[in-house]
Amino acid sequence: MFTIAGIPVFASPFYFLLLMMFARGGDIVTGIVWAVCITLSLLTHEFGHALVARHLRHEPSIVLHGFGGLTSRTRTGRDVEEAAIIAMGPAAGLALGLVVFAGWQLLLLFGIASQTAASVVYALLYPCIVWNLLNLMPLWPLDGGQLLRLGLLRWLSPQRATRATHGLALAILVLLAAYVLRSSASVYTLLLLGLLAMQNVRALGGDTGEATAPVPSSVAAELVENARVALHEERFKDAARLAQQARAQSGVTPMLLEQIWEILGVATTELAEYEEALSYLSRAKPSERVRQATSRSLLALGREEELQDVDVIHVRSVASTRGRHMNRWLWGALSFIALAISMVFGTSMKQFFF
């Protein structure tokens, strides 16, 4: 469809059915306004995810479909980075909603608000606020459900965290379905709840990679071995290419992933891609080779003051400050989401929806 900031954006035919559903019953101008506002809201949300993923070099792409939007990317291998990517989506969407509401308040203040402006503001606020709040519910695979699972991983094993996440999602979906049936809601709402329930049932049954531990990939292991040979033979571009291919495979174990980070870090250091090298070395298992590559990259970037902290024990935390940045981004996004929710229910904004 198009590309923004190096991130490709696609739209499925079902997305246009979604727009038509919201445009039905009104005139063509109203339909166009809703289509533009929904698209702007969804893109803002998805680019919240995608820009952080791009910053972490995880090759994001965006698809607009019949149930909203989806940002596809490679996995980061770190829970805090996953959480930061996930949280920035609803944070961006809510931020747009608050900006729109602030603009509406200014129109009211200066006495230039009109019925047309009110219609446009509502068409923007509804997807920005209501959809992002619903997206934060603890329902897998919505953002709230993914954040819940990552939070549970701090206290539970991956298997128990996964079961708890999907079990809670199913319980909430049953309650929502009962309410929807009694309130004569749209077929679209029932279809969406049914789709979410099906995904959670399948996950509990082991049909997705989230429900069980990853199965080691023989293809990934072979690619890593070939990458090691290329690195030994000083074919650094080939080593980086093979390691990237290995990272893209499904079922890559944490141990194999650490080897991939080391190969990528060393290879990109030799290719003089020092910033990129540090992003990989920060995730590699501590070793003398990783330490040497980290020191070389820091020197090349003029960051000599960090060299004194580089040793085998602390190489991960010093090789890059990205981990600390992701922690700040995550807590910043979560704090903003909490603030936005309090503003929605604590100001006149709630009159738009409730």
DSSP state, 213? Answer: P
Query: Domain containing 256: what range?
Result: 218-320
311 in the same domain as 239 = yes
316 in the same domain as 249 = yes
How does pLDDT run across 17-69, given as a tens digit for each residue?
Answer: 878 877 665 678 888 888 899 999 999 999 999 998 888 777 788 988 888 88
Distance from C-alpha of 334 to C-alpha of 330, rounded to nearest angstrom: 6
303 in the same domain as 230 = yes
Q: Is residue 1 over pLDDT 90?
A: no
Count of other CB atoms within 10 angstroms of residue 335: 12
Q: Which of 144, 179, 213 is the last residue of a domain?
A: 213
212 CB contacts (<8 Å, ≥6 apart)? 159, 162, 206
Rounded to two decimals, what is the model's pTM? 0.67
57 belongs to a structural domain:
yes
How does pLDDT run across 77-109, given as a tens digit for each residue?
Answer: 677 888 889 999 999 999 998 999 888 888 888
204 in the same domain as 237 = no
Is the CB of residue 295 less than 8 Å from the CB of residue 310? yes
Q: Is residue 261 over pLDDT 50?
A: yes
88 CB contacts (<8 Å, ≥6 apart)? 48, 49, 51, 52, 329, 333
Is the CB of residue 71 less than 8 Å from the CB of residue 62? yes
- Token pair recorded at residue 332: 């910043």
142 belongs to a structural domain:
no
60 in the same domain as 119 = yes
Where are the strands (E) in 77-180, listed by range? none
Per the structure, how many domains does the chain have?
3
145 belongs to a structural domain:
no
Mean pLDDT of the chain: 81
18 in the same domain as 99 = yes
Residue the block writes with tokens 């040497």:
292
204 in the same domain as 224 = no
Scanning 183-284, the segments in alpha helix (DSSP H) are 187-204, 218-232, 236-247, 254-270, 274-281
305 in the same domain as 346 = no
- Is residue 113 classed as helix, strand or coil in its secondary structure? coil
- Is residue 72 classed as helix, strand or coil in its secondary structure? strand
143 belongs to a structural domain:
no
Q: Is residue 317 over pLDDT 50?
A: no
117 in the same domain as 84 = yes
Count of other CB atoms within 10 angstroms of residue 161: 19
pLDDT score of 263: 92
Local confidence band at 215 (pLDDT 50, 70, 90 cut-offs): very low
40 in the same domain as 132 = yes
Going by their DSSP bridges, the two strands 61-65 and 7-11 should be labelled as parallel
How does pLDDT run across 198-208, given as a tens digit for each residue?
Answer: 888 888 876 54
- Is residue 263 classed as helix, strand or coil in its secondary structure? helix
How does pLDDT run across 231-249, given as a tens digit for each residue?
Answer: 888 889 999 989 888 887 7
Burial label for 300, CB within 10 Å (0-12, 13-18, 19+), is middle
pLDDT score of 212: 43
Q: How many residues does the chain have?
A: 354
148 belongs to a structural domain:
no
Partners of 213 in beta bridges: none
For residue 240, what is the domain's CATH number?
1.25.40.10
Give the CA angle between residues 323, 250, 333 to the nearest 5°. Answer: 30
151 belongs to a structural domain:
no
Please give the residue that has the higher pLDDT: either 152 or 314: 152
10 in the same domain as 37 = yes
Q: Is residue 316 over pLDDT 60?
A: no
314 in the same domain as 332 = no
Is the CB of residue 169 less than 8 Å from the CB of residue 145? yes
pLDDT score of 45: 94
Task: Residue 353: name the closest of 106, 123, 13, 66 by CA.
Answer: 123
